Amino acid sequence: MRPVRVALIGYGLAGASFHAPFIATTEGLELAAIVTRDPGRRAAATGRYPGVELLDGAEEVFARAADFGLVVVAAPNRAHVTLATAALEAGLDVVVDKPLAPTAAEGRALVKLAGERGRMLTVFHNRRWDGDLLTVRRLIEAGDLGRVLRFESRFERFRPQLTEGWRERADPEDAGGVLYDLGPHLIDQALLLFGPAVHVYGEVDVRRTGARVDDDAFVAMTHASGVRSHLWMSAVTAQVGPRLRVLGDRAGYVKHGLDVQEAALRDGGDPGGTGWGREDEAAWGVLGTDGNQRRVETEPGDYGAFYRGVAAALCDGAPPPVDPADTVAGLEAIEAARRSNAEGVVVSRTGRRGIR
């Protein structure tokens, strides 16, 4: 079969570092076009992918929909819904970078439209394939932790100076702030591991002088399974905590440091080579109880699994690598956290589907 021709919309950090390298190296996919007007980004794209067509605007993709099979939306958050809607209406399958939409209602509308048009819609939750999360899944499945009681997860940074990027803007359509930037990953990982949330509590703060959007947030979720997840995301953490602490009734697992793939991709690395995603032994996490601990090897991170899943969905009829309904559940949890913070309440919903 001929590979699926992919049009990548956006060639900023997300498009250049997290999407293009995997599209270009995944069997069954062909990076056919990149949409960007920026002269520097166009030069960078040509230098790395000399055979790829450069387009000035997304409307060129939709006008030539027959030339492509898949659109990847890696534009700023405010454009996600508009671009994904146009792609679906043009009869194209779609990958959207996270978050799928600024609101759960808009996310549900996109899922509905994809179903009506019979097109694949999926969301780039690459951190489902972080090495540390894959390790936690392995430990849970092996029973090494026993019954999990509490899941603690952090994406913390120390960036006290404001930037001028769209993530710092207060317009709700931009979906800026750490709760929309880092929160979707943390919430998605927790829901993936432990199922729907029935209670959500949130603390959402603006700490830096002059900041217009949240830069420090905490979300607590109680899952229908009984596990409690505590999630931290911040741009003002002068000393970061463990990336993960998972506590079971048999043992705990503590892991410091971020997955190595992001740094490699930011440095221009090509995925899939020997040692890709592998972590040095010194960074491995610790499993056990106080006084009886051992280091456990971190599973190799594998962001490429997402695009292999996309290729399998398009070429073999497999399910998409990320069910967009999962992403809507994550957006519902974000909205519940914001409501909790604003009203000083725990937002609750009982039942299998959890927070909605």
Name residue, tokens 């405010």.
Answer: 78
Phi, psi of 111 (to 5 degrees): -60, -40
**CA distances (Å), 218 to each of 155, 221, 234, in order?**
11, 10, 8
Query: What pLDDT, on the 0 to 100 scale, is given for residue 318?
Result: 97
**CA distances (Å), 125 to each of 122, 172, 227, 233, in order?**
9, 22, 22, 16
Query: What pLDDT, on the 0 to 100 scale, is given for residue 2?
Result: 93
Q: Could you state, in order of their start, the residue ranges of all structural domains in the chain?
A: 4-124, 127-302+332-348
Residue 255 identity (one-letter amino acid): K
CB 21 within 8 A of CB 271: yes
Query: What pLDDT, on the 0 to 100 scale, is given for residue 219?
Result: 98
Q: Is the torsion defined by CA of 31, 32, 35, 37 positive or negative? A: positive
Query: What pLDDT, on the 0 to 100 scale, is given for residue 90?
Result: 98
Assigned superfamily of 4-124: NAD(P)-binding Rossmann-like Domain (3.40.50.720)
Query: What pLDDT, on the 0 to 100 scale, is given for residue 352?
Result: 45
pTM of the model: 0.94
Query: What pLDDT, on the 0 to 100 scale, is given for residue 354?
Result: 54
Q: What is the CATH number of domain 127-302+332-348?
A: 3.30.360.10
Q: What is the pLDDT along the chain (356 residues), one digit of tens a residue?
A: 799 999 999 999 999 999 999 999 999 999 999 999 999 999 999 999 999 999 999 999 999 999 999 999 999 999 999 999 999 999 999 999 999 999 999 999 999 999 999 999 999 999 999 999 999 999 999 999 999 999 999 999 999 999 888 888 888 888 999 999 999 999 999 999 999 999 999 999 999 999 999 999 999 999 999 999 999 999 999 999 999 999 999 999 999 999 999 999 999 988 988 899 999 999 999 999 999 999 999 999 999 999 999 999 999 999 999 999 999 999 999 999 999 999 999 999 754 455 54
273 Cβ contact list (under 8 Å, min separation 6): none
How far apart, in whole angstroms, are the C-alpha atoms of residue 119 and residue 117? Answer: 5
CATH fold match for the domains 4-124 and 127-302+332-348: no
Task: Name the nearest CA neighbour of 277 among 22, 10, 3, 8.
Answer: 22
